Structure 1
Amino acid sequence: MWIDTHCHLDAHEFGARTLDIADDADRQGVGMIVIPAIDRGNLDTVAQLAAQRGNTCYALGIHPICVPNATEDDLAVLRARVEAAMGDPRFIGVGEVGLDFFIPLLNEPVMRDKQIAFFREQLRIARDFGLPVLTHVRKSQDQVLKHVRQITPNGGIAHAFNGSFQQAQGYIDVGFKLGFGGNLTFTRALQIRRLATDLPLSAIVMETDAPDIAPAWIHPGVNTPDQVPRIGEVLAQLRGIPVEEVRDVTAANARAILPRMATLLDGPDATGVP
C-alpha cells in the first residue's frame, strides 16, 4: 500500500467532499492518510475525521503559522488532549509543529522566540508520551534540528524536506525520516530532485501536504491524497527503480517511524500491509 504521511484532509478547500477524497485515495491504493492538526481549533476536527474512515489517522499539534494567535493555555490544552488521545488507536503523534522563518511576520525577533518556545514545549509533550513528531521546517532546517537534538522525541518526519544533504543526514542521525511529495515532480526543482534521488530510500516517506504542494500535473490546483501513487512513480523514475519498490519501502519507513500507525494497520480492522 501507499501511505500519505501528511495531508490536511480537513482543509476548507475540500468542502463537503472530504470523506469522498479519502475514499478516492483508498481506491488508488493509499492505505493510510495521516491528518495533522494545526491549532487548538481543529484538534477535535482531525480526530473526528479520522474516526470516519479506515484509511485515516491523526496527529495533534500547533503549527508555527498559528503561533501568533496561540496562548500558553493552548499548550496546556494540547498536553491534556494528547494524554487523553493515547487511548485512541487512530492517534499517532504530535504535529504539525516546527519553525517557519520564511514568512516575514514569523521571522521577527519576538515571534521567532515565541515559535521556539511553542516548538520546544511540543517536543517535550512528544518526548513525555513517547511519540514521534511531524515537523514543519521552512527556512529553519538547522534550528529545528538543534531543538530536536536537545529535546529528542521518539522519532519524527521532517515534512516537505528541502535542506542540504548534510542537514538530511542530521535528521537521519536523530531517527527522523524525510517527507517528499509533489515538489519533486517539477523539473526545475533541482535540489529536491537530487535529494530524492540520492538520499537512502530507507530515509524517505511519501506525503502530499494536500491541499497544498500540488504535483506538476495539477499545479496550481488543489492537491489530493490520491496523487501519492503517481508522485511515487516519478520518484521511482528519478531513482531508476521499480515503482513497487518505492511503494513498499516508503510504506515500511512510515510504519517504522509512526509505530502507533503500524499497530493500527496490523489491528483487527486492518486494511492491509505493504
Structure 2
Amino acid sequence: MFVDTHCHLTMLDLTPYQGNLDQALVEAREAGVSKFMSISVNLDDHIALAEISARHDDVGYSVGVHPCEDAATMARATTEFLVELAQSDKVWALGETGLDYYHSDEYVDEQKACFARHIAASKIVKKPVVVHTRSAKRDTIDIIRAEASTHGILHCFTEDWETAKAALDCGYYISFSGIISFKNAQDLRDVAKQVPLERVLIETDSPYLAPVPYRGKSNEPKYVPYVAQALSDLYGKPLEEIALITRQNFDNLLAAK
C-alpha cells in the first residue's frame, strides 16, 4: 500500500540479500510497499532500470541527469534525446534534474540549461519532472515558473514554507524522505504541517537518508513505511490513511497530462 516514489535501485547495498535485488524487493513488498519509482542520475541508468522494470510490474523508472554530473554529461541531455528515452510506458518521469549549488557551483549555467530541457521534455511526453534542489531554491523556483512547469515533484524536500508554497502554486507535489523523522528536523516538520495532504508524497531516496530507527544505516525501499509513520504522527492521521493518500497522490501525478 506504500509507494516509494524515489529510490535508486541500482545503488542499493545488496549485501544482506547476497547481491539479489529481487529479494530486496520481496522484503519491501512484505513491508507493505506496492510500487517503486527508481530514479536515474545519468543517461546510461535507463539500460539497467529498463531491465529491472521489465521483471517487476510494480517498478517504474525515470530518465535524466542529476545536476551534480559534469557539463559534458548534462550537454548530452538534449530535449530530443530525453523525449526519445522517455517513450516507454515504464518510464514514469523525467529526472532527477534540478539545481545543486551545494555540491557543485562550477557548472551553474549548464545546470540551469539542463533543468530547462528536462522540463521541456516532460511537457512533450506529458510525464512529471523530478526536481532536486540544494542551496538553489530561488533559482529552482524561478526556472519552474519561467518554463511554465506544472507537472512535477520537489523530491527529498528540506526547504522553507515559501519554497514549498511556490512549488505548490505551480502544481507540484512535495515529497518527504527519512529526514522528516530526524530529531533535528523540527523546522522541516513545521513546514510539512502546512502542505496539503493531497499534495504529499513519500520516498526513501535509498540508499541515502534512512529514517529513524535506521538512521545512519544504508537505506532501502522497505523503510518507506517509517517515512509514512513520521507523517502519520505529524498529521495525526492513521498510518493506513497516510499510505492510501500518498499512493493516490502518486497515481494522480502519473495520470495527469
So what's the TM-score if we normalise by structure 2? 0.92
**CA distance, structure 2, for counterparts of residue 10 and residue 259 of structure 1:** 26
In 1, are the aligned partners of 2:160 and 2:188 still within 8 Å (CA)? no
Partner of 1:83: 84
Residues 1:67 and 1:256: Cα distance change in structure 2 (over 3 Å):
farther
- Look up the SS of the partner of 1:237 in the other structure: helix
Tell me, yes or no, if structure 1 residue 28 matches structure 2 residue 26: no
Gaps of 5+ in 2: none
| Equivalent residue, structure 2, for 1:64 | 67
1:183 to 152, 155, 179: 179
Return the alpha-carbon distance in structure 2 between the equivalents of residues 119 and 84 of structure 1.
16
In the aligned structure 1, how far is the partner of 2:7 from the partner of 2:172? 18
Quote the residue 1:271 is aligned against: none
Equivalent runs, 1:1-274 vs 2, <5 Å:
1-11=1-11, 13-14=13-14, 16-70=19-73, 72=75, 74-76=76-78, 79-80=80-81, 82-83=83-84, 85-86=86-87, 88-103=88-103, 106-108=104-106, 111-259=107-255
Q: How many percent identity over aligned positions?
A: 27
Residues 57 and 91, structure 1, Cα contact 8 Å, conserved in 2:
yes
Distance in 2 (alpha carbons) for counterparts of 1:128 and 1:48: 24
Q: Tell me the SS of whatever aligns to 2:174.
A: strand
Would the alpha carbon gap of residues 236 and 59 (structure 1) be closer, same or farther in structure 2, given more than 3 Å must change?
A: same
**In 1, Cα distance between the equivalents of 2:143 and 2:108?**
13
The question of whether the paired residues in 2 share the 8 Å contact of 1:130 and 1:154 is answered with no
Indicate if the aligned counterparts of 2:86 and 2:94 stay in contact, CA closer than 8 A.
no
Which of the two has greater helix per residue?
1
Corresponding letter in the other structure for 1:80:
F
SS at match of 2:68: helix
Encode CA deviations 1:204-254: one digit per residue, 9 max, x unaligned. Answer: 101000000111211211101111112211211122111111111111111
- 1:131-156 per-position Cα deviation (integer Å, ceiling 9, x unaligned): 21011111112211111111134511
Given that 1:149 and 1:174 are in contact with CA atoms closer than 8 Å, whether structure 2 keeps it comes out as: yes
Q: Distance in 1 between matches of 2:125 and 2:58?
A: 24
Offset from partner CA, 1:88-134 (integer Å, 9 cap, x none): 2211110111100111xx223xx111111111111111122222101
Task: Give the TM-score normalised by the residue count of structure 1.
Answer: 0.87
Are 1:93 and 1:133, in contact at CA under 8 Å, matched by a contact in 2? yes
SS in 2 for 1:66: coil
Letter in 2 for 1:83: E
The 8 Å contact of residues 22 and 55 in structure 1, kept in 2 or not, is answered as no
Q: Which runs of 5+ in 1 are unaligned?
A: 261-274
2:236 alignment partner AA: G
Question: What SS does the corresponding residue of 2:133 show, helix, strand or coil?
Answer: strand
What is the number of residues matched between the two proteins? 254
Q: Which residue of 2 aligns with 1:269?
A: none
Q: CA deviation at 1:54?
A: 2.0
Q: Which position in structure 2 is the counterpart of 1:272?
A: none
Change beyond 3 A, Cα 1:56–1:40: same
